[in-house]
Structure 1
């Protein structure tokens, strides 16, 4: 993948999740030369054609900033590319773009690389949705469809929001136990009560995808002692453990010291009850697993994968880590 014009070669990396999409351009020595951000690129939320357009727009913005450069590698990792058919559909949609021969896969691979370079590893993301991937040194890969309840999944910010609203609705009309979520949920949307939230969702004044905004309220209610919210948090921890331990078993790695990389907005909140539940569960079901919580943006992993694909050195990878972490710190401030 080259362009005969321009200056020093670059690599491009894209990481897209349920809430935002990051794209960066780096020189092969690890220097960060351009970075842009867009909205969600998940085809489950915006459709595959819109996903392809958004990624192309971000890459074009990078190329405007870098000027004409030879392109050594382009690596694109997106939430919602869970099935081989979805990856194939995305590839068909980008066929006319200059970067069409990019490496394309699910965003879990970016999270995995952000947390470890080991060849035996598992990653679980719990953000807007929940998903898991596992890899083994001989090339074996375990992955999941990640299509919600249809494919056996439980959890993630959207699902936590849906379950929280379910409990709050039953608390309000008397079918279920009292919960502070009945007051906390309307506040998230600037409404006065649960009936207003239900009506707004029904008439699509609130998009169904906006249920993910309730996850922080669930965690806050749990920390404040709400029993309903605590049960939801405990159930979420259990599902993270189930995904990681099942993947290790399927890879025949339960008896090995393997990193389990955890990331995504729900995990990244640092909620003590959630993380303690994950630690206890893995200690019981996969005692040799080593938990690594990734707080760096997953674009870091995507960038490292792109640099490695472009043939960058170990020193270049170190420089890229430093530059991207500095950028993230500046954005947070």
Structure 2
């Protein structure tokens, strides 16, 4: 299971790595609805995937031991160890599998970018709706960040970039800030004549708040055209991505080792040239031995690989699962 801020994927795997059933649904947001309701909201997806695989969830619960050996759940908003523990207990209580492990969804991205035969050592940075980073050292140590927002020192991700683009566009429009094409391009995306109209539409709900993420590709397009305000925002995002990666590498004593730095999430996977090139340049400067890799496969692949790790699957199972999501 990979449950992110914007979508959730559930897959049922055979011991040979075959995907027997799958389902996709909306985002997983315990802070908004509470952990109990968030986990209960996964039931429909789990049951759909189990049914597709020929397994009845009711039968699993009645059997007690269950016919699913292990549930590997990589969850957004499982940002603190105590949250992982609470979510693991709630998932275990559903009776979907014999055993359950819960990890932050950054570990799914990291696992997807690491070789199956090991070593499972490296760092991953997710930049999608939000931003986060995790790392694994050769001695089993982990490096991670709370990634709760501004109170934990975070900057960036699609939601934050959209807000920054709107802030700078509003100030460009009314003269409080530097001129920027964002003042015209952001409202034009919604078919509006200018920032006053977009501000009003967002404030009154005529443009729903959940559509703000659509402004991120607009920001990158304006940056690619040379707009200084937009380019400064993209440069700041690249700085934050590389800063997280290098801090994690340093914590794990890997800064001078040739280890993978896995990049993923919607913003990074899109490989917007201005951002992508800035990230690679900064990594080459600050962590020259790091090996950057962009993962575009769905994060549920990483959760599946972790499940195969847990159950001691053969090498052929890993290859089969990766081929399914290639």
The TM-score normalised by the length of structure 1 is 0.88
Helix, strand or coil at the partner of 1:71: coil
Aligned to 2:29: 42
Would you say 1:255 and 2:256 are equivalent positions? Answer: yes
Would you say 1:129 and 2:124 are equivalent positions? Answer: no
Question: Of the candidates 63, 67, 70, which is equivalent to residue 67 of structure 2?
Answer: 70
The TM-score normalised by the length of structure 2 is 0.90
Distance in 1 of aligned mates of 2:277 and 2:32 = 32
Aligned to 1:109: 107
CA offset digits 1:146-177 (Å, max 9, x no partner): 01111111111001001000000101111011
Runs of 4+ in 1 over 6 A off after TM superposition: none
Taking the TM superposition and a 5 Å limit, the aligned residue runs for 1:175-254 are 175-254=176-255
> Following TM superposition, by how much is the alpha carbon of 1:208 offset from its aligned partner in structure 2, in angstroms?
4.2
Q: RMSD value over aligned CA atoms?
A: 1.8
Structure 2 spans left out of the alignment, 5+ residues: 56-65
Aligned to 1:140: 141
Distance in 2 of aligned mates of 1:183 and 1:109 = 39
Helix, strand or coil at the partner of 1:102: strand
Distance in 2 of aligned mates of 1:258 and 1:172 = 45
Paired residue total: 312
Distance in 1 of aligned mates of 2:191 and 2:106 = 34
Distance in 1 of aligned mates of 2:212 and 2:126 = 18
Taking the TM superposition and a 5 Å limit, the aligned residue runs for 1:60-99 are 60-68=47-55, 70-94=67-91, 96-99=93-96
CA offset digits 1:219-243 (Å, max 9, x no partner): 1111122111111111111111101
Contact 2:108-2:306 at 8 Å conserved across structures: yes
> Following TM superposition, by how much is the alpha carbon of 1:206 offset from its aligned partner in structure 2, in angstroms?
4.5
Distance in 2 of aligned mates of 1:207 and 1:45 = 17
Helix, strand or coil at the partner of 1:81: coil
Contact 1:42-1:78 at 8 Å conserved across structures: no
